[in-house]
């Protein structure tokens, strides 16, 4: 069936309108501005600076110290206490002897190391132009230890440590006839704060405590029998029954490597 020219033109017009109605929304959707990109996730915190692998320090070079020695013998209840205050110098307290410390810092912040220290005391008397040596005392300590480094801030670290201290002392009078030495083992702990003035230089402020668990003394005496050139030497060793307690607030300097 043939359609009239008017009907054909009307059908073409309706077809064109339908195409426009369908294409316009699609075009509008295509031309819409792209959505803003999602904000980037916050970046991870900057990694901490290089972790030091070694600590070298001069410890217990000064401060305030207290020591108390007590006997536990059945017939002896004597005690001896000592309080010392000073910066540098020597001390009769073996646990307060200035020491050189070296500790390795593992990636886990665990520290392994130790410290060694020694000092010598000597005394003399004088009368007019004459001087006489009274004797000397030599003290030493050796302390293997383990600890953990805690960075409190960019400039301050705290490193609690614990270990054993092997301490010894020897006394030699001027006549060299009666010598004595003592050896003690103590458990101890300290907690130095390291104030980092630079990346490799620290000022140390710490507190330490030591308590003896074992001690022995050895005495050596020399006597002359039957005239000059004939001598007899005797040596005696005995276990001490007592304790030595030491508490100290100390200063030092050190650095990270």
Q: Both ends of the chain: CA-CA distance in Å?
A: 102
Residue 149: name the closest of 51, 60, 56, 247 by CA. Answer: 51
Contact 205, 191 (CB under 8 A): no
Contact 200, 217 (CB under 8 A): no
Q: Which domains does the chain have, with CATH numbers?
A: 54-121+132-256 (2.40.160.20)
What average pLDDT does the structure give for the chain?
78
What is the chain's percent helix, strand, coil content, to nearest 5? Answer: 10, 60, 30
Structure tokens at 4: 């009239």
Q: In this predicted structure, what is the pLDDT of residue 122?
A: 77
Helix H segments across 40-136? none
pTM: 0.69
- The DSSP letter of residue 128 is T
Task: Please tell me the distance from the alpha carbon of residue 137 to that of residue 128, in angstroms, as a whole number.
Answer: 25
Average pLDDT over residues 233-249: 77
Condensed to tens digits (0 to 9), the pLDDT of residues 167-207 reads 988 888 766 667 888 889 999 999 999 999 998 899 999 99
Condensed to tens digits (0 to 9), the pLDDT of residues 137-158 reads 888 999 999 999 999 999 999 9
Residue 161's pLDDT band, with cuts at 50, 70 and 90, is very high
Task: Please tell me the distance from the alpha carbon of residue 245 to that of residue 211, in angstroms, as a whole number.
Answer: 5
**133 against 29, higher pLDDT:** 133
Average pLDDT over residues 23-49: 50
Condensed to tens digits (0 to 9), the pLDDT of residues 91-118 reads 677 788 899 999 999 999 999 999 999 8
Structure tokens at 137: 């005392």
Task: Please tell me the distance from the alpha carbon of residue 60 to that of residue 83, in angstroms, as a whole number.
Answer: 15
């Amino acid at each position: 069936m043939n359609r009239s020219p008017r009907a054909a033109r009307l059908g073409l017009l309706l077809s064109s309108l339908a195409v426009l109605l369908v294409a316009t929304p699609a075009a509008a959707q295509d031309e819409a501005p792209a959505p803003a990109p999602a904000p980037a996730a916050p970046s991870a915190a900057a990694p901490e600076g290089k972790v030091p692998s070694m600590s070298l320090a001069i410890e217990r070079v000064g401060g305030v110290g207290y020591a108390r020695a007590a006997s536990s013998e059945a017939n002896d209840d004597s005690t001896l206490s000592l309080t010392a205050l000073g910066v540098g110098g020597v001390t009769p307290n073996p646990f307060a002897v200035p020491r050189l410390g070296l500790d390795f810092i593992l990636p886990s912040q665990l520290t392994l190391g130790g410290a060694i220290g020694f000092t010598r005391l000597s005394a003399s008397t004088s009368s007019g132009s004459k001087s006489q040596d009274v004797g000397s005392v030599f003290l030493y300590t050796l302390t293997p230890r383990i600890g953990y480094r805690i960075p409190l801030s960019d400039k301050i670290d705290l490193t609690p440590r614990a270990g054993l201290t092997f301490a010894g002392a020897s006394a030699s009078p001027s006549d060299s006839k009666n010598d004595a030495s003592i050896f003690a083992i103590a458990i101890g702990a300290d907690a130095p704060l390291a104030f980092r003035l630079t990346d490799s230089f620290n000022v140390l402020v710490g507190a330490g405590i030591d308590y003896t668990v074992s001690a022995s003394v050895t005495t050596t005496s020399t006597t002359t029998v039957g005239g000059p050139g004939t001598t007899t030497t005797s040596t005696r060793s005995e276990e001490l029954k007592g304790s030595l307690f030491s508490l100290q607030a100390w200063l030092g300097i050190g650095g990270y490597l």
